[in-house]
Amino acid sequence: MTEIKFKLNGKEQTLNTDPNRRLLDVLREDFKLTGSKEGCGEGECGACSVLLNKQIVNSCSVPLANVDGQDIVTIEGFSKTKEYQVIKDSFATAGGVQCGFCTPGMIIATQSLLNTKPRPNDYEIKIGLSGNLCRCTGYNLIIKSVKLAAKDGDGLW
């Protein structure tokens, strides 16, 4: 057992727990934040994506010890922001959502991308989404969703 402190969705949290636990399990089990999904459990599919200090990470591959003193934002926290509203509307309008299981991760990936590259070109969008697998859409309408978000939210990032 180790004491771990981190900021989660804007709030300071302290946990006494096994530092080897996966961040994904802590989020889903201890905090009931089930928007981050487990698709593969080995950092390949991106369904468990969260923001660690504003950068996308696979929470299934992050041991809790690594987030000590860091800032974590999950889809639940991110959904309270202005940036989320723009991304949400663009995914809805462009048709970027099918089964929805990869979607929270895709939203996080979009935020992480636009945060570093507010006006990404097609290639940069594809790179930005390449860590997140989707089996439903063939990515075409997700890429269009991200383009739309960049356009509609121009100046926000």
24 binding another protein? (CB under 8 A): no
Ramachandran bin of 127, using left for φ above 0, alpha for ψ from -120 to 50, beta for the remaining angles: alpha
C-alpha span between 20 and 71 (Å, rounded): 18
Mark 38-77 with x for binding to another protein (rule: CB under 8 A) and - for no binding: xxxxx-xx-x--------------------------xxx-
Considering the complex, state which of residue 68 and residue 92 has its C-beta at the smaller distance from another protein: 92
102 binding another protein? (CB under 8 A): yes
CB of 69 to another protein, least distance (A): 25
What's the token pair of residue 105? 């991760």
CA-based nearest residue to 108, from 142, 154, 63, 65: 142
C-alpha span between 84 and 136 (Å, rounded): 22
Considering the complex, state which of residue 65 and residue 99 has its C-beta at the smaller distance from another protein: 99
- Which of residues 17, 66, 98, 115 is near another protein by CB under 8 A? 98
